[in-house]
Amino acid sequence: MPKGLSILASLLLIGIFALPNPVNATGTAAERVDFGANPGQLRLFFYRPDTLRTPAALVVALHGCQQTALEYARLTGWLQQADRWGFLLLLPEQRLINNPQRCFNWFRPAQVTRDQGEAGSIRQMIARLQTEFPIDSQRIYVAGLSAGGAMAAALLAVYPDVFAGGASIAGVPYGCASGMLGALYCQSWGRDLRPAEWAEKVRHTAAEANLHPQRWPILSIWQGQSDWVVDSTNARELAEQWNALHGLQSNAASEETGQGYTHRVYRDATGQPRVESYLIAAMGHGQPIDPGSSAAQCGTAADYVLPVGICASERIIHFWGLAP
């Protein structure tokens, strides 16, 4: 066998694929294929910044429909945040064979059941990276856009013992749908349930795994009020779901009005923020970015990556406490 083919065969056997560095990133992007049974048949990409701290926080970033993992991470500023703050990025990618639009299947119960389907694959990806990198198990977070945002909320519900927090961008509450038609209705019009009803969906799922968390993951919610794909009522219902889990009142928030957005923060009895929401008035369907060179700016405009003067990935990192 020629030497080049021999090296390639060795890489295939151990499941290591190095990839060209994404534009403007200084770390290493790679793929792993050896991460368990992979019940959801997803692909595992990750990004290790040269600035990786020890022990490292881990951020799972889930792309939206019609996107790829590395493209999403680059355009929305996640690579930039990883370089700046020294955390590891896990970038699951959907396969066209699973969904022709490359959406995560958040609305199919078999895909969001603990240790099964796509949720199970993502959990196995985390475990795989934990064998390779010194990851702080108390600082594992998940964020996503659109279908990725809905999947992020599902992962928080299914694995509250794994994730310290999350962010849902143009997402929907956990348990909003259990099939394709329900998903279309949920995202287009929303479902209006009482906060306790929403919270019970999460508690029931946790109880099935014999989990009864004393502290639930924290959550950052982002939504465009001009979104034509996901109705903005979903942000309200998602906030109600997680406020109820934290024992907070959805009408007891501190509020900040910025240039084109409203930011609400819901705090516990000690004053710690547990849930926050950003409603962006003129934004359609996508993740907000603010292209530029200052520390608070990020991103490159593209389909579903919208320059509206605020960088979601930067704000989320601060909310999680990964940046001072």
Does residue 5 lie in a domain region?
Answer: no
CATH of the domain at 280: 3.40.50.1820
pLDDT in tens, 2-32: 444 343 333 333 333 445 455 467 899 999 9
What is the predicted pLDDT for the residue at 7? 35
Long-range contacts of the stretch 203-208 (C-beta < 8 A, 24+) = 203/245, 205/114, 205/157, 205/158, 205/174, 205/175, 206/157, 206/160, 208/114
Question: Could you confirm whether 146 is annotated as catalytic?
Answer: yes
Beta bridge partners of 275: 219, 266
Question: Is residue 24 exposed (0-12), middle (13-18) or buried (19+ Cβ within 10 Å)?
Answer: exposed
3 part of a folded domain: no
Tokens of 41: 């048949």
> Which residue positions in the chain have pLDDT lower than 50?
1-18, 20, 23
Number of separate domains in the chain: 1
Q: What is the pTM of this model?
A: 0.92
Is 2 contained in some domain? no
Q: Give the pLDDT score at 24.
A: 62
Query: Structural domain of residue 133, as residue ranges?
Result: 15-320
Q: How far is CA 311 from CA 10, 109, 304, in A?
A: 41, 32, 14
| Position 4 in a domain | no
Task: Please list, in sequence order, all residues whose beta carbon lies within 8 angstroms of the beta carbon of residue 200, skipping any fewer than 6 positions away.
Answer: none
Instruction: Return the DSSP state at 205.
Output: H
Q: Indicate the SS3 state at residue 7.
A: helix
| pLDDT for 265 | 98
Options 146, 168, 220, 250, the catalytic residue: 146
Q: Are 264 and 255 spatial neighbours (Cβ–Cβ below 8 Å)?
A: yes
Give, in order, the Cα–Cα distances in Å from 307 to each of 1, 12, 64, 311: 51, 40, 17, 8
pLDDT tens for residues 48-107? 999 999 999 999 999 999 999 999 999 999 999 999 999 999 999 999 999 999 999 999
| Residue 113 within a domain | yes
Amino acid 305: pLDDT: 98
- CA torsion 249-321-231-226 (nearest 10°) is 120
- Is 44 in contact with 69 (CB distance < 8 Å)? no
Supply the pLDDT for residue 1.
41
For residue 191, give the 3-state DSSP assignment: coil
In a domain? residue 128: yes
Tell whether 9 is covered by a domain. no
